[in-house]
């Protein structure tokens, strides 16, 4: 059977992603690719809760920071391998999400979103004043030992492979959830919560499942950031701006879709880095203005995001082709 255009396009994109470090010798271009992959992974993780379950969280930086601090503290104080520290960071974040969900799922709509911001701010204040975690000064990971065992590298290519692998892992997990009964329940909870409750779906339970999975993968992203930058502080891994960016990536690309956050990350991160390089300090905030305008435009004209716009464009094109074919047959 002849493969569809969608399959061919996905295969071409996957091949390009794998070969990218071999095709570019520019550290800045490779760093941009890493940032795109890392933001995409966070967007996909956020989408598990905000897209499929319809629970808009603006406090996901709490889980990101938990992952970064857990792996870093375990490495610095106990010598625990960062690979294991990354996994443990995800587990700690998932456990924290139980308290997060218990306190926030009692609220709905914008009250839920406001509550998530409050919880994340509490977590940031705790780490800012916690001497054991470096307080406001932060923590630095030493570069004494380099290699895959310590996840510390002199060049950027290994971080690219790590970011790509983590994104693929998060996409596969989302794909599995999307096609399981959990995914169907989450979409029912999002679209018709009363109907879902009437047929016996435990809404609180499945919201918590979505939150725990989302927290786990968000924390993995935080651990990778810590290893890439070799330095973390509350402002870099626990800020509200970071939480908002996770949401924006998904909203722009298309919430509740598998590849929407990836598309959104390509657009937002590229705009952010290009404007930063073009304007420097004089253009501070230019990137925010540009992609805020994009978000407003998408929300007004294409609420389903860029993925929705692409689907509509493809359907219109197919309709035009079908109409043209009918005219040719008639003639």
Range of the domain at 278: 32-330
Cα–Cα distance between 305 and 211 in angstroms, integer? 22
Closest by CA to 268, choosing from 298, 237, 301, 226, is 298
| 12 is a domain residue | no
Cα–Cα distance between 101 and 34 in angstroms, integer? 31
| 261 is a domain residue | yes
| 23 is a domain residue | no
| 61 is a domain residue | yes
Residues 6 or more apart whose CB falls under 8 angstroms from that of 77 comprise none
Amino acid 1: pLDDT: 46
pLDDT means per 10 residues, the chain with 331 residues, are: 69 85 85 95 96 93 97 94 96 94 83 91 95 93 86 91 96 96 93 89 93 97 96 94 91 91 91 76 62 73 77 77 70 60
Amino acid 328: pLDDT: 67
What mean pLDDT value characterizes the chain? 88
Closest by CA to 189, choosing from 287, 11, 51, 22, is 51
CATH number at residue 53: 1.10.3470
Residue 297 host element (H or E): helix 286-301
What sign does the CA torsion over 294, 162, 169, 18 have? positive
Alpha carbon of 221 to those of 66, 216, 257, 307: distances in Å?
10, 9, 20, 24
| 208 is a domain residue | yes
Tell me if 161 sits within 8 A of 30, measured CB to CB. Answer: no
Counted domains in the chain: 1
Alpha carbon of 85 to those of 75, 97, 205, 248: distances in Å?
7, 18, 28, 28
| 16 is a domain residue | no
Q: What is the C-alpha end-to-end distance of the chain, expressed in Å?
A: 32
């Amino acid at each position: 059977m002849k493969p569809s255009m969608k399959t061919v396009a996905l295969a071409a994109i996957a091949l390009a992603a794998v070969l990218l470090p071999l095709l570019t010798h520019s550290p800045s271009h490779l760093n941009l690719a890493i940032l795109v992959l890392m933001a995409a992974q966070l967007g996909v993780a956020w989408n598990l809760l905000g897209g499929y379950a319809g629970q808009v969280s603006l406090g996901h930086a709490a889980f990101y920071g938990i992952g970064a601090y857990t792996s870093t503290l375990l490495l610095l104080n106990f010598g625990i391998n960062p690979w294991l520290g990354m996994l443990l960071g995800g587990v700690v974040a998932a456990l924290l999400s139980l308290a997060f969900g218990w306190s926030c799922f009692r609220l709905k709509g914008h009250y839920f979103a406001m509550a998530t911001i409050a919880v994340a701010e509490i977590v940031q204040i705790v780490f800012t004043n916690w001497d054991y975690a470096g307080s406001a000064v932060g923590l630095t990971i030493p570069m004494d030992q380099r290699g895959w065992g310590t996840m510390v590298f002199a060049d950027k290519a290994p971080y690219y492979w790590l970011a790509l692998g983590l994104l693929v892992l998060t996409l596969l997990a989302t794909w599995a959830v999307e096609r399981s009964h959990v995914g169907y329940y989450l979409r029912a909870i999002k679209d018709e919560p009363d109907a879902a409750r009437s047929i016996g779906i435990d809404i609180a339970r499945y919201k918590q499942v979505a939150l725990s999975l989302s927290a786990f993968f968000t924390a993995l992203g935080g651990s990778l950031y810590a290893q890439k930058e070799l330095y973390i502080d509350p402002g870099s891994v626990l800020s509200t701006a970071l939480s908002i960016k996770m949401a924006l990536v998904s909203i722009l690309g298309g919430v509740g879709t598998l590849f929407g956050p990836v598309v959104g990350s390509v657009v937002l991160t590229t705009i952010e880095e290009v404007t930063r390089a073009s304007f420097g300090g004089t253009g501070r905030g230019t990137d925010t203005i540009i992609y805020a305008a994009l978000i407003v435009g998408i929300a007004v004209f294409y609420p389903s995001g860029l993925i929705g716009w692409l689907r509509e464009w493809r359907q219109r094109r197919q309709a035009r082709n079908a109409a043209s074919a009918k005219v040719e047959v008639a003639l």
